[in-house]
Structure 1
Amino acid sequence: MQLNIIRNHWKIENNLHWQLDVSFNEDETKMKKNQVLNLAILRKMAMPVLKAFTYKKGASLKKKMLAAALKPNIKKEIMKKAMVLYQKS
């Protein structure tokens, strides 16, 4: 039983880090320590918002970020989603 709990914890933990590395290229960051820490916080706040935002069926986080960068109306919708999500907490 305890092994399953540990495995599930690391499954979630590894998924988070994989997502941060693949979608946000977190491992490639070439900044000073404080800058890295500040951006890590922002990325961790952005990830649930991007996951909750429905852009196109099956769209990855990278595709959603690209759409937000290229289309102001998509960026506005994502910001609205962020406001809703973070007002609840």
Structure 2
Amino acid sequence: MSTLQLPLKGNQGDLYNDVVQLFDHACQTQFQGIEHDSYQTVEKGHGRIEHRTYWTMGQTDYLLGAERWAQLKSIGCVESCRRQPGHPGTLQRRYYLLSIESDAQRFADAVRSHWGIENQLHWILDVGFREDKLRACQGCSAQNLSVIRHLAANLLQQESTAKCGIKAKRLKAGWDDNYSTTDIC
């Protein structure tokens, strides 16, 4: 069964405020008397160390607005503490509505896999398509070009005859009409 995780944002009003207050209180009391699950990770890379703590709580029936979420079984919080030499550390909390029972490690795996996919796509669009350097701002042009780049990235990732990266495949498609019309589509 897949994990449905929905990031909880401030526009959810009372539900968001209740979840934030609940986790704030739980952290202040070190979760004494509060049924929960937790999981921690430490990642080192790119000159920084990031500690993440994942918490899940299964008691959601008393949250205001929770009744609108039919598959809601637990809530989750990720606290990320990022430290880099010579820089002050940063602390960030993100909150989620979950369709799984209170299982912090499964929640952590779902959050990390989502960001892995997201980061990989952004890297492909930046390196292969130089998306960060493009400045389309007339009407819907930015959104339209983004859809086209996503479509092209998906087609280039599926193409398997050329053993090279997305950027090289894109160049090859621009130089060779036979490659761009027969092998990709």
CA drift at 1:47:
1.1
Q: Does 1:22 align with 2:124?
A: no
**What is the distance in 2 between the residues matched to 1:55 and 1:71?**
14
**What is the match of residue 169 of structure 2?**
64
**What is the match of residue 152 of structure 2?**
46
Q: Does 1:37 align with 2:128?
A: no
- Aligned-residue sequence identity (percent) comes to 33
**What is the distance in 1 between the residues matched to 2:151 and 2:162?**
21
**What is the distance in 1 between the residues matched to 2:157 and 2:182?**
13
RMSD (Å) for aligned C-alpha atoms: 1.4
Q: Deviations over 1:36-87 (max 9, x none)?
A: 1110000111111111112322x111111111111111111245x2xxxxxx
**What is the distance in 1 between the residues matched to 2:180 and 2:119?**
28
**What is the distance in 2 between the residues matched to 1:65 and 1:73?**
13
Aligned to 2:160, the other structure's residue is in SS state coil
CA contact 2:161–2:183 (8 Å) conserved in 1: no
Structure 2 alignment gaps of length 5 or more: 1-105
**What is the distance in 1 between the residues matched to 2:181 and 2:162?**
16
Q: How many residues align?
A: 79
CA contact 2:125–2:131 (8 Å) conserved in 1: yes
Higher relative contact order by CA 8 Å / sep ≥ 6: 1 or 2? Answer: 1
The code of the aligned residue for 1:50 comes to L
Task: Kindly name which structure, 1 or 2, has the bigger radius of gyration based on alpha carbons.
Answer: 2
The code of the aligned residue for 2:141 comes to Q
The code of the aligned residue for 1:12 comes to I
**What is the distance in 2 between the residues matched to 1:54 and 1:2?**
34
**What is the distance in 1 between the residues matched to 2:154 and 2:182?**
14
TM-score scaled by structure 1? Answer: 0.79
CA contact 1:50–1:78 (8 Å) conserved in 2: no
